[in-house]
Structure 1
Amino acid sequence: MDQLAPAEVSPYRVFSAEEWARLRAGTPLTLTKEDVERLRSTGDKVDLREVERIYLAVSRLLSAHVEASQLLFRQRQAFLGGEENRKTPFVIGIAGSVAVGKSTTARLLKELLARWPSCPKVQLVTTDGFLYPNAVLEAEGLMKRKGFPESYDVGAILRFLSDVKAGVPRVEAPVYSHLVYDVVPNGRVSVEAPDILIFEGLNVLQVRDMPRDGKAVPFVSDFFDYSIYIDADEADIRRWYVERFMRLRDTAFRQDASYFRRYSLIGEAQALEVAETLWETINARNLRENILPTRPRADLILRKGPGHLTEQVALRKI
């Protein structure tokens, strides 16, 4: 992790996967092989052993932070004479490139955290639903920048997270369909006062230019209690993206409703060229310009190797 060296001045403590696995410290494995297969995304190599090596310790760490937050709330409640009646959700942000494994990580952690003895209520929301509809992106000339910061309704994201953190009992988030590659009209998912909210997306750690007049400008990450970045070499992410595209070409893209159905009707060589072009002109640019620069803002960095499995973990020092 080039940004994390030298160790003596780094804000992170770096562990090998083997060192990190020992921090599981007896945390029980509550998922089955079938659970993992159901939760992982297309092309992701996460298996039950990877859950034991990496994700059990991550869930233990996050559970400790949640418990500390709950303790602080009770102490603050006592300090204020019981005026605060409701603990607001503990929000975990998960960032990283397309095809790096954010969605799998988010779903695994949702399942693991919900199975701790305290049985907290855990909900997951992705930023995809907050993309502007394709009609808007087309009108604004942004379809080729879909996934870039300007393609999201940031105001809606901030209002959603603000309501969640304000303790509003029921907050709705828009829904996205990867099949039709667009926001679902009138689609909504309800977030109803969970103990933990996982908020996953490409640019959730993104910052904005500060105003000269000193007015408050909230960032999405201002609402996070903890943040995770899924990391890997660009060459590996590119390969995973192209491989996933070619696999989807033979599966989901063949559905009549698929936005990408046209790519299932062309030859393999032409489809491969399309995948590589999409990576280089859209996803690689977004990674270099917007996503990767946010990596040093994360509390925890999971660094994947060529095999799509975590090889290093960097934990921000306290």
Structure 2
Amino acid sequence: MDDRPKLPSLSPYTTFSRKEWAALRADTPMTLDDADLERLGSLNDPIDMSEVEQIYLPIARLLAFYVAARQQLFRATQRFLGHSETRVPYVVAVAGSVAVGKSTTARVLRALLARWPAMPKVDLVTTDGFLLPNAVLKREDLMGRKGFPESYDVQSLLRFVSDIKAGKPTVSAPVYSHLVYDVLPNERMTIEKPDIVILEGLNVLQTGEKPKNGRVAPFVSDFIDFGIYLDAEEPLLHRWYVERFMRLRETAFLDPQSYFRRFAQVSKAEALKTAEALWAEINLPNLRDNIRPTRPRADLILKKGRSHRIEEVRLRKI
């Protein structure tokens, strides 16, 4: 029998209950109203004022402190070097599974941060725009791997984040349409001198494989200042994905331009079978093999419960 005293389990994170995290809002003012939340929410990812007050206002307050500290460090470095250079944007990553609510989180944080008293310029970019065009995916037999690391134009994404962190005054990014399920060939979004860039996507915290030739290879995550991972149990993610697919079948899929229009024209049973297959064959393997392994790289982990509400927050210790 081992009589040695058990050491407390150590973790790189401090864990907060919803109530404990909500208390960290302090006196941060609410700058959004119900109309804003209706505009910022996503299909099948409800968000209400209590969620913003208890979860997102403390996050915005924390990020504001982090950004201010980074700016102070920048000014100190400039004084040391004796010259002035362009301040580089602070990059926040929002990662997690399909259907976990990344888009809603990213949009709410952008709205809150943009209305901070210092009024920073905040831009939101999704990595969907850096997916390879469908024509390329079909040619490379990758349509069934869309969303996996190999389905992205990684070099273009790396150039984008590298230019952002180099302080380039104007940077552009490709635009993706969920309606036509493809990158729009003649559209780009322009980003000019932002203070904060929120980068949202499945792959933003991934590192990829090291080159076999031994060279140093940069990853998107190397350019991230603060990473957020939205977490939930697999059965919940499964249910949310299927529910979203079936709701889209009654809404967006009805659009004549929708890539998925055919699923609005089949029986409910057939559409449900398709949704289950897409989850089992594409989204679940991608979650297990590529997305969830990036969770330990996050600075903040938001754990969602059954009703989409965030029930636990884990903040990386400094």
Indicate the SS of the match to 2:11.
coil
Identity of aligned residues (%): 62
Alignment partners' CA distance in 1, 2:131 and 2:252: 21
Indicate conservation of the 8 Å contact 1:7/1:13, yes or no: no
Superposition RMSD in Å: 1.1
Q: What letter corresponds to residue 137 of structure 1 in structure 2? A: L
| Residue 3 (structure 2) aligns with | none
Alignment partners' CA distance in 2, 1:232 and 1:32: 27
Indicate the SS of the match to 2:86.
coil
How far does residue 8 in structure 1 lie from its aligned partner after superposition? 3.9
The verdict on how the C-alpha distance between 1:129 and 1:7 changes in structure 2, with shifts beyond 3 A counting, is farther
How far does residue 35 in structure 1 lie from its aligned partner after superposition? 0.4
1:200-232 CA-partner distances (Å, limit 9, x unpaired): 100111112223554221010110111000000
| Residue 296 (structure 1) aligns with | 296
| Residue 58 (structure 2) aligns with | 57
| Residue 174 (structure 1) aligns with | 174
| Residue 77 (structure 1) aligns with | 78
Q: Which runs of 5+ in 2 are unaligned?
A: 1-6
Indicate conservation of the 8 Å contact 1:54/1:310, yes or no: yes
The verdict on how the C-alpha distance between 1:92 and 1:266 changes in structure 2, with shifts beyond 3 A counting, is same
| Residue 38 (structure 1) aligns with | 39
Alignment partners' CA distance in 2, 1:25 and 1:31: 17
Which stretches of structure 1, 4 residues or more, deviate above 6 A after TM superposition? Answer: none
1:284 corresponds to 2:275: no
1:22 corresponds to 2:33: no
How far does residue 167 in structure 1 lie from its aligned partner after superposition? 0.9
Indicate the SS of the match to 1:129.
helix
1:122-168 CA-partner distances (Å, limit 9, x unpaired): 00000000000000000000000000000000000000011111111
Indicate conservation of the 8 Å contact 1:91/1:197, yes or no: yes
Alignment partners' CA distance in 2, 1:16 and 1:120: 30
| Residue 311 (structure 2) aligns with | 311
1:251 corresponds to 2:268: no
The verdict on how the C-alpha distance between 1:203 and 1:80 changes in structure 2, with shifts beyond 3 A counting, is same
How far does residue 7 in structure 1 lie from its aligned partner after superposition? 6.9
How far does residue 186 in structure 1 lie from its aligned partner after superposition? 1.6
The verdict on how the C-alpha distance between 1:7 and 1:122 changes in structure 2, with shifts beyond 3 A counting, is farther
Alignment partners' CA distance in 1, 2:113 and 2:20: 22
1:174-216 CA-partner distances (Å, limit 9, x unpaired): 0000000000012100011100000010011111222355422
| Residue 3 (structure 1) aligns with | none
Alignment partners' CA distance in 1, 2:167 and 2:174: 19
| Residue 199 (structure 2) aligns with | 199
Alignment partners' CA distance in 2, 1:257 and 1:211: 41
Which TM-score applies when normalising by structure 2?
Answer: 0.96
